Amino acid sequence: MDFTGAHILSIKQFERADIERVFKVADSMEPYAQRRRVTRVLEGAILGNMFFEPSTRTRVSFGSAFNLLGGEVRETTGFKNSAIAKGESLYDTARVLSGYSDVICMRHPESGSVAEFAGASRVPVINGGDGANEHPSQALLDLYTIRKELADRGRSLDGLRIAMIGDLKHGRTVHSLCKLLCLFDNIHVTLVSPPELAMPEAVTENMREAGLKVVVSEDLAHGIGHVDIAYATRIQEERFTSKEEANLYRGRFRLNQAIYTQYCEPNTVIMHPLPRDSREDANELDNDLNLNPNLAIFRQADNGVLVRMALFALILDVVDQVDACARDVNWYSGSR
């Protein structure tokens, strides 16, 4: 794909060569994300961060990525703080705010809403999550994390064995990741969930048609037994009709150190898109895993900045200018 000026709305836009391009650029961003170097390549550029659903990591990660490239960030959070609360359409919002920004990242609770917004925008739009539909940048950072974790073990993405666990019906992160895995070879995916929260059939069939081996299971112990990656997800309470309905499934598939030791292979990597629900009745990833070196959830979050820096650099066509606008940092950053 031609990244310059492109919207990033769905994993369907990407081919394998595009993924490899994003990852190569993300690798080059590490000195800046690690605060060893500073670049001002996007000095004067403005990111419009529009988040109409609660978000910590995605919103701050996009903002940090843009700031690290030298740009400025303007944020809108929640419907109450926007003109949409006064009845303004997505079309009008897009036409206005794209006049104030060079690129926009948007999260919205309704599937398809970000694509609708992008259709009226005068600048590139990145989908930060639209309802239960997709979250393309999360899938990219997830796969980037998997690639790095496997590389440390002398492995590549081809031949990956992964278990996805939890609320697979509403989890837009796993929907996008499944679509991304279809670009690779000899992939084995185990989907572990209650039947009521199973991966949408269209996503499962798409994987099978792409040649992936897909196993559907309700048995956590069996599902995590022979995988490289155990990818847990929380119960998406906000997608249910009531908290009581969500409570029927909360805490159903808990992973702790004892279960990990008993059923997982010694080097199985544990991932989660975050936030993990650490309340007592949920606790899908127990805190006793925090000292497990294979718990990659915080490395995963760090990688989000690298991938989002890469997307901005590609979309705004400054990849070849980043180093030319760089200097060493002048503050203490050794704790990293």
39 is catalytic: no
135 is catalytic: yes
107 is catalytic: yes
Q: pLDDT grade, residue 336 (50/70/90)?
A: low
pLDDT, tens digit, 9 for 90 and up, residues 233-267: 987 767 666 777 766 667 678 899 999 999 999 99
Residue 45 identity: A
pLDDT, tens digit, 9 for 90 and up, residues 51-80: 988 788 899 999 999 999 999 999 988 777
Catalytic residue among 135, 170, 272, 308: 135
Catalytic residue among 80, 86, 153, 279: 86
188 is catalytic: no
Catalytic residue among 7, 59, 107, 276: 107
pTM for this one?
0.93
pLDDT for the residue 93: 92
Catalytic residue among 35, 57, 188, 222: 57
Report whether 145 contacts 26 (CB < 8 A). no
179 is catalytic: no
